[in-house]
Structure formats: C-alpha cells, structure tokens
Amino acid sequence: MEARNLEKRLWLKGSGLLSTIHEIARLTTKVAKDDPRRLIHSLKFGLTISLVSFFYYLNPLYVTFRTSTMWAVLTVVVVFEFSVGATIGKGLNRGLATLVGGALGLGANHFASLFGKNYEPEPVFITLFVFLQAVVSTYIRFYPKVKARYDYGMLMFILTFCLISISGLRTDEIFDLAKERLSTILIGASTCVIVSIFVSPVWAGEDLHNLVAQNIEKLGSFLEGVMDESLRKSENEKLARASLNSVVVDSKSCEEALANFARWEPGHGRFMYRHPWKQYLKIGNLTRLCACRVEALNGYLITSIINQAPQEVHEALSRMSAQAGKALKELASSVETMTSSSYKINPQIASLKIASSNLKSILKSGLCEEYYKNLLQVIPVAALLIDTVASVEQIADAVNE
C-alpha cells in the first residue's frame, strides 16, 4: 500500500514536472512564433558581445585600454536594444552623457583641488558638488520631455559625473582614465549601432507604420463582418475579435515608445530621416477612439436586434457597416503603401456621409414610427454606427494629411 502511495506520489510529481517542462517549451516556441525577429535579435546580441570580448583577447588592444575594456562589454550589454532607433538613442545618450558628465566631473575635481592642500581636492567640496548635481539632475529627469527621450542619458550623466569627480581623489591619471573610458564606451556603442543597422535591422519606424496600418485594417475587417450572422456565430471568431479590440484599445503606450525610438533612426527604405512620426500617433489616437465605439457596438447582440427592425433599416445598417469597413481597409492600405489614394477614398467617404444621413432620415420617417417598440434597441446601434462613421472620416482626414 505504502509502496503504491509512494509510486503514485512520484508519478504525480513527475507529471507535474513534465507539465512544467511542457509549459516552458510552449512558451519558448510562442515567443519566437509571435515575432521571429526575437530569435534573430538574440543571435545578433550574442555576436556583438563576442566581437567586443575579442578586444580583451587581442594583446595590443589590451595594452592600450587595460581594464577599461570592461566598459566596452558593459556598454554593449546595456545599449543593445531590439530596434535600431532604441539602440542609436541609447548609444547617443550614453556617449554624449559620458562626454558632458566626464568634462563637468573633471571641472568639479579641479575646482575642489584649488581649495585643497598640495592640490589634493577637498572632499567636502566634492561631496557638495556630487550632492547638488545629483539633486538637480534627478529633478530634471521628472520633466515629461526629458523622461520620454533623455532619461537614460541623464542617468549616465549622473553616473559619469560621480565616478569621475569622486575617483579624481585617488587617481593621478584622471585624464587618461577619462579618455580610456570614453574611447572604450565609443567602441562598444558603435559596435552595437553597426551590428543593429547592418545585420537584419529591426526599424522602430517600420514597426510603428505597420502597427498603425494593421490596427486600422483589423477595425475595418471587424466592421465589415459585424452585421453578418454567419461570421459572428463561431466562438473562436468572437474570442479573436474581442482580443483584437482590446489590442487596438491598449496599443497607445506601445505606439508612443515606437515613435520615440523612430525619431533616432536615420532614413531607411521608404522612410526619410524626418518622417512625420507624430502624424502616426494622431492617426493611432483616432483609431483608438473609433475602436472604443466599435467595441461598444460589439457589446450589443446586433444580429438579433437588427432582425426586429424593418427591412429598410436593416439594409441601411448592413450597407453602412460594410462600407465603413471597406473604407477603413482602403485607408489601411493607403497608410501601408504610403500613397495618397484620396481619389479612391474620397468617393467612399462621401457615400458614407450620404448613407449616414439617409439612415437618419429613415429613422425619422413615419415608417419607423410604427415600429417604435422594435426600434428601441436598434436606435442605439444606429447612433453608434453613425458615430463610428464620423470617426472613420476623421481618420481619413488625418491619413490624407
């Protein structure tokens, strides 16, 4: 009996372990399946760090830079990011901050040495400078614009200033130290930037571009099918749509981060250096507003509601949602290909406007007055659809800009 219990317990433990392993394996494949570039990024990072660690093995280089070589490794680990924009942004931030922080640190050290004995800097002054600098820089990090783009640079500025001004107390070769550290950091950062640009680059700008276009596309295909009974019946379809909508609603912070990274990127492919990234944020915001309305529309059991409505209303609603969906898809492909297809879109928007005012007048007509009770639930749906159409028009305006 005991033996069997033990066996059972072991078996349970074993199957628990197995299911954990299984879960981890599933997660691992999912990470790569969601975005295969993640695997490539990992390999790129491995490559870069191996390259930089070579500096340590090559004797001539080691003689020049001594233990400062470590700073090249450190820089690679911290600066190498997923997208080109983020890597360049961090690299530039780090390089500039090290330069400015180092220079000011040397200055503070020199100033403090004026008050010391035998040109040994006075610890009290150094501590005072470090304290003041830390307080002011930390405070500046709270400024919204600084936080969005230069947070890492401010951090590195504080770090370098402290390290240089404090270590000045001990090292006579402070200039050499600063020079070595700066050059190793430059080597590390430039290796990162070169690898990230030339080995299968991931452009934040392109990601932003695609994300915005995809979100509009998703909304479009949802709207096209929203009145179609057969499309709405399958459970999987519903789940997919629900998650789709929450993605559209939640994508704000992701878009803002991408736009911040994209500003650092040089021109590439179809994007010039000063591509109007802000416009994408505007389109993204309008898309989310539209998604908010579509999600509300999704909350109604539309098919059962509109079947109660008179034939005319039913038809007008279906036609309008299909048209709005098609217009959104057209807008998405216009964003996608970056061509101004206003000659295609403008007529669609115009006919959407006509359909919208038609629906309003049908609802106001005597015909509908008879069906009043049946229409109680249809009217909110119609109102939402009219609002949705209005926000589709806003998106079209923003895209055409």
Residue from 106, 163, 197, 281 in contact with a second copy (CB under 8 A): 163
Residue from 281, 380, 394, 400 in contact with a second copy (CB under 8 A): 380
Residue from 27, 236, 274, 343 in contact with a second copy (CB under 8 A): 27
Residue from 23, 229, 237, 369 in contact with a second copy (CB under 8 A): 369
106 contacts 182 by C-beta, under 8 angstroms: no
CA–CA distance, 258 with 208 (Å, rounded to integer): 6
Residue from 61, 197, 281, 379 in contact with a second copy (CB under 8 A): 379
Residue 296 binds a second copy (CB under 8 A): yes
For residue 299, the minimal CB distance to a second copy (Å) is: 7
For residue 141, the minimal CB distance to a second copy (Å) is: 9
Which of residues 240 and 367 has its CB atom nearest to a second copy in the complex? Answer: 367
* Structure tokens given for 366: 């005597």
Angle between helices 252-262 and 277-299 (to 10 degrees): 170
Radius of gyration over every alpha carbon of the chain, rounded to an integer in angstroms:
30
CA–CA distance, 89 with 100 (Å, rounded to integer): 16
Binders in 123-162 for a second copy, by CB under 8 A = 123, 126-127, 130-132, 134-136, 138-139, 142-143, 155, 158-159, 162
Q: How far is CA 35 from CA 156, 197, 198, 225, 256, in A?
A: 31, 18, 19, 28, 20
Neighbours of 284 (CB within 10 A): 25
Q: How far is CA 214 from CA 243, 257, 278, 281, in A?
A: 14, 17, 17, 14
CA–CA distance, 183 with 102 (Å, rounded to integer): 12
Residues that bind a second copy (CB under 8 A): 27-28, 31-32, 38-39, 41-43, 45-47, 49-50, 53-54, 56-57, 62, 67, 70, 73-74, 77-78, 123, 126-127, 130-132, 134-136, 138-139, 142-143, 155, 158-159, 162-163, 166-167, 169-170, 249-250, 252-253, 292-293, 295-296, 299, 363-364, 368-369, 372-373, 376-377, 379-380, 383-384, 387
